[in-house]
Amino acid sequence: MQHVNDGKAFAAQRGAAKSNCPFKNGEMEGNGSSRSDSQDALNGFEMRGLDEEFDDARLKLYRRNGRRSRSRSLDDIRIEMLPRTSSPSCGRKSFLPEGMLFGIDIGGTLAKIVFREPGFLAQGPKTEQAQRLRQYFSNSDGRVGSEDERLYFSDPLGVFGGKMHFLKLETSSIDFLFEILRKERQTSPHEVTQWKIYATGGGSFKYEARFKDLGIKVRKSDEMETIVSGVLCAIENIPDECFTWVPPEFGGDVDDDMTLVRQTIQVEKARKPWLVVNVGSGVSMLKLDEQMTVDHGKVGTYKRVGGTPVGGGTFLALGCLLTGAKSHQELLEMAAKGNAKAVDKLVGDIYGEDYHGLGLSAHTVASSFGKLVNADLRNNVSMEDLAASLVQMISWNIAHLARLVACQEGARTIIFTGSFMHNNEISQRKFAAAFRYWSNGDSQALFMRHEGYVGALGALAMSTLIRQEHTH
Catalytic residue positions?
223
Question: Residue 310, interface with its own copies (CB under 8 A)?
Answer: yes
In whole angstroms, give the CA distance from residue 406 to residue 404. Answer: 6
Closest contact distance (angstroms) between CB of 411 and its own copies is 9
In whole angstroms, give the CA distance from residue 227 to residue 463. Answer: 14
Question: Residue 336, interface with its own copies (CB under 8 A)?
Answer: no
Interface mask toward its own copies for 189-218; x: CB under 8 A: ------------xxx-xxx-----------
Minimum CB distance to its own copies smaller for 184 or for 409:
409
Query: Angle at the Cα of 203 (from 201 to 208), degrees rounded to 5?
Result: 120
Cβ atoms 100, 273 nearer than 8 A: no
User: Which stretch in 115-123, 156-164, 287-295, 389-397 sits in contact with its own copies by CB under 8 A?
Assistant: 389-397
Q: How far apart are the first and last CA of the chain?
A: 51
Minimum CB distance to its own copies smaller for 23 or for 250:
23
Minimum CB distance to its own copies smaller for 121 or for 360:
360
Q: What are phi and psi of 330, to 5 degrees?
A: -65, -40
Residues contacting 343, CB < 8 A, separation 6+: 369, 370, 371, 372, 377, 381, 385, 386, 388, 389
Closest contact distance (angstroms) between CB of 105 and its own copies is 11
Minimum CB distance to its own copies smaller for 66 or for 359:
359
In whole angstroms, give the CA distance from residue 73 to residue 255. Answer: 53
User: Which stretch in 130-138, 243-251, 353-361, 446-454 sits in contact with its own copies by CB under 8 A?
Assistant: 353-361
- In SS3 terms, 292-327 reads as ECCCCCEEEEEEEEEEECCCHHHHHHHHHHHHCCCC
Closest contact distance (angstroms) between CB of 360 and its own copies is 6
Phi-psi region of 165 (alpha: psi -120 to 50; beta: other; left: phi over 0): beta
Judged by CB under 8 A, which of 61, 81, 366, 383 binds its own copies?
Answer: 366
Minimum CB distance to its own copies smaller for 214 or for 320:
320
Closest contact distance (angstroms) between CB of 200 and its own copies is 10
Element spanning 196, H or E = strand 196-200
Question: Residue 311, interface with its own copies (CB under 8 A)?
Answer: yes
Minimum CB distance to its own copies smaller for 128 or for 256:
256
User: Which stretch in 86-94, 178-186, 233-241, 365-373 sits in contact with its own copies by CB under 8 A?
Assistant: 365-373
Closest contact distance (angstroms) between CB of 184 and its own copies is 24
Q: For residues 9-48, which are near its own copies according to CB under 8 A?
A: 9-10, 12-13, 16-43, 45, 48
Helix locations, 199-284, DSSP H = 202-206, 208-213, 223-237
Question: Residue 412, interface with its own copies (CB under 8 A)?
Answer: yes
Minimum CB distance to its own copies smaller for 23 or for 120:
23
Question: Residue 317, interface with its own copies (CB under 8 A)?
Answer: yes
User: Which stretch in 82-90, 147-155, 260-268, 344-352 sits in contact with its own copies by CB under 8 A?
Assistant: 344-352
Question: Residue 108, interface with its own copies (CB under 8 A)?
Answer: yes
Q: For residues 133-152, which are near its own copies according to CB under 8 A?
A: none
In whole angstroms, give the CA distance from residue 185 to residue 180. Answer: 9
DSSP 149: G
State the burial class of residue 295 (Cβ atoms within 10 Å of its Cβ: 0-12, 13-18, 19+). Answer: exposed
One-letter amino acid identity for 91?
A: G
Strand 242-246, strand 261-264: pairing? antiparallel
Measured in whole angstroms, the distance separating CA 156 from the mean position of its chain's CA atoms is: 26
Query: Angle at the Cα of 52 (from 215 to 183), degrees rounded to 5?
Result: 15
Question: Residue 103, interface with its own copies (CB under 8 A)?
Answer: no
Q: For residues 234-293, which are near its own copies according to CB under 8 A?
A: 253, 255-258, 281-282
DSSP E strands, 32-148: 101-106, 110-118, 145-147
Judged by CB under 8 A, which of 90, 159, 227, 347 binds its own copies?
Answer: 347
Strand 345-346, strand 242-246: pairing? unpaired
Number of residues that bind its own copies (CB under 8 A): 133
Closest contact distance (angstroms) between CB of 171 and its own copies is 8
Q: For residues 47-66, which are near its own copies according to CB under 8 A?
A: 48-49
Q: For residues 156-185, which are near its own copies according to CB under 8 A?
A: 170, 172
Question: Residue 374, interface with its own copies (CB under 8 A)?
Answer: yes
